[in-house]
Amino acid sequence: MSTVPIFRPPTAIERIFNRVFGFLVGRGLGFSYNYLLQVKGRKSGKTYSMPVNLLELDGKRFLVAPRGRTQWVRNAEAAGEVTLRKGSVRQRFRLRPLPDADKPAILKAYLDRFKKEVQRYFPVAAGSPVESFRELVESYPAFELIAV
């Protein structure tokens, strides 16, 4: 069983950075894998936005929550879909939660690809073998995105 917390809240500085970076990504700036994720709140119905790193692997798209069961994860699970935005381009996706058996390979690929941004949220080092991620699957929600 993993000792990783279920949710790792952002620091005040990380919250400010996410707002500023989210604004820039929403305007079309950032790397090719940066998107502004938009999801409807499960209680308020309000649309919430946050920057995310989209993992593209073998022609499929994946979202991983390196902080665990965040608000965006809970809202996305309740809504069943999300919108990814970059500049004026918006795409809607249904979510397919990944089964635990599929997560180790995706978590490894995500950490290896976005090491600089997310290493601090993982108790294993980027480049570790896929087996190192087996005990972490419950702590990291991951979804395949299916275009609507």
Q: Where are the alpha helices (DSSP H) in 52-147?
A: 71-79, 103-113, 115-118
- Over residues 4-34, the pLDDT tens digits come to 668 888 889 999 999 999 999 999 999 999 9
> What span, in angstroms and rounded, lies between the C-alpha atoms of 131 and 135?
8
**C-alpha–C-alpha distance, residues 75 and 102, integer Å:** 22
Type of residue numbered 30: G
**CA separation for the pair 78, 74 (Å, rounded):** 6
Domain 33-147: CATH superfamily, name plus number: Electron Transport, Fmn-binding Protein; Chain A (2.30.110.10)
- Tokens representing 55 are 């993992």
pTM of the model: 0.92
pLDDT digits (tens, 9 = 90+) for 109-123: 999 999 999 999 999
Q: What is the mean pLDDT of residues 76-80?
A: 96
User: Are 38 and 49 within 8 A, CB to CB?
Assistant: yes
Residue range 30-47, pLDDT digits in tens: 999 999 999 999 999 999
* Cβ-proximal residues to 69 (8 Å cutoff; 6+ apart), any chain: 6, 7, 141
**High-pLDDT (> 90) share of the chain, %:** 93
Position 53 pLDDT exceeds 70: yes
CA 119-33-59 angle, 5° bins: 105
So what's the pLDDT on residue 103?
98
| Structure token pair of residue 27 | 């305007």
